[in-house]
Structure formats: C-alpha cells, structure tokens
A and B are shown apart, each in its own frame.
Chain A
Amino acid sequence: DTGVSQDPRHKITKRGQNVTFRCDPISEHNRLYWYRQTLGQGPEFLTYFQNEAQLEKSRLLSDRFSAERPKGSFSTLEIQRTEQGDSAMYLCASSSPQGNFFGYTFGSGTRLTVV
C-alpha cells in the first residue's frame, strides 16, 4: 500500500462547471476525511466518513458540495457550479478504526483553480 492517493493533482475549471475529485485511502483505514486549505491558512475540515457512512459535515460544505464513499473504499468529492471562492487545495486523509490513535495519513491533495 503506497498511502493515500488523490486524483487529479491539479484541476483548472471555468466558473460554473462541475468538478469531481477522488481519494483512495489506505486499504485498512475505515475512516476518511476531506479538508480544504486556502493560501496561508491551515486545513479546514469539510466532512468525515466511517466506512460508507458520512458521519459529519462542516457548515463549510454548502449545498453545491457532495461527498460519497460507496462500499467504504474510495471517496469522491463533487463541487457543482464552481465559484472562484472554491479555489483551494482539497486534502484527503484516512485513519485506522481507532481514530487518530495511530495518526492521520494525508494524500498529496488536489489543487483546484476556478477561472
């Protein structure tokens, strides 16, 4: 297992278009998290899955955002009708069933630029 994988690494899209990002967690990790990070800020929590169940969503996750984790494996984050304010780095992380007892592992992120 090579860690947490995110695809694509970079995405440039026109305002109003829909985009979808994918995250493949470490295989034995049942917890998966999405964070968003803008320039000069720390990562901000978006949403959290335990297996296939989405257990928590931040108020940052507007109605234009949706996340899924079918079958408790990979996860997708979709942004509909993108806005320039959505430009950010989207980070995915996973952790073991014990939560963060053994630490989170982050992927390399997907950088979104909305033009």
Chain B
Amino acid sequence: KQEVTQIPAALSVPEGENLVLNCSFTDSAIYNLQWFRQDPGKGLTSLLLIQSSQREQTSGRLNASLDKSSGRSTLYIAASQPGDSATYLCAPWLGGNNRLAFGKGNQVVVIP
C-alpha cells in the first residue's frame, strides 16, 4: 500500500517568501504524481502533473520536482501571495487500476 507523507504539516510565511513543500512516498514505482490545492471546505484543484520520466514541471510561480528513485517530490511556490493560502496535497499514481493515494497535506498560510 502506498503511504504518502507531507512535511511540514503546516507553515506560515510572510508575503513574498518562497514556499517549499515536501512529499515522500513509499512505493517509488510510480507512473506520475499530481499536486492539488484545496481551499477550506472546497474540492481539489489540480496544479501540476509530473510524469515519472520528468524531473520537473512548471506552471507560472509553481515548480514541482520529482526524484522517483528516492520517492520524493517537492513543490516550490515563488514569491508567495496571501491568495496562496490553502492546503496542498500530493498524490502519486502507481498505474493500471491503482487509484491516487494522498497524504494529509501541507497547510499554508501566507501573511500579508
């Protein structure tokens, strides 16, 4: 069973600082990994999908890296803004009929 751990569980940063969110998973035989954002009381919004053959994926201020062999992914958010306050979830996929496994998320608060 895939186990996902996200560190730190929660963090608060002043506006403008860069954010570094870490995700580790126990089974490294993944096909891809998806990062999601979740606002309080809302559903999940997909941010980035990084395939196992990729080392990183970028979208605007977001950059996700993947080290498949060590079972780690990192989400970087540059120049944080108060609107970035949310919980960020990573979800690795083992392929086939396997479904996404989730950690508890990184809860981020960006202070204006």
Contacts and interface: CB of A to CB of B under 8 A. Distances in A.
Interface of A: 6, 33, 40-45, 48, 50, 55-56, 89, 91, 93, 99-109, 111
Contacts of B95: 99-100
Q: Which secondary structure dominates where chain A touches chain B?
A: strand
B65 to A, nearest CB: 18
Contacts of A41: 104
Contacts of A89: 41
B97 interface: yes
Interface string B8-43: 000000000000000000000001101010000111
B104 A42 contact: yes
B94 to A, nearest CB: 9
B45 to A, nearest CB: 8
Given A41-B104, A42-B4, A106-B43, A33 B99 contact: yes
A105 B34 contact: no
A30 B86 CA distance: 30
Nearest to A44: B102
Contacts of A108: 42-43
Interface residues of B, number: 26
B43 A45 contact: no
A101 B102 contact: no
6 contacts: A40-B104, A45-B101, A56-B97, A106-B43, A107-B43, A108-B42
Given A91-B44, A100-B34, A103-B49, A55 B97 contact: yes
A93 B101 CA distance: 13
A101 B91 CA distance: 13
A101 to B, nearest CB: 7
A111 B39 CA distance: 14
A2 to B, nearest CB: 13
Task: Report the 8 A-B pairs with minimum CB-CB distance, sorted nearest first.
Answer: A42-B102, A106-B44, A108-B43, A100-B93, A109-B43, A103-B49, A106-B43, A42-B104
Contacts of A44: 102
Given A40-B104, A41-B104, A108-B42, A103 B97 contact: no
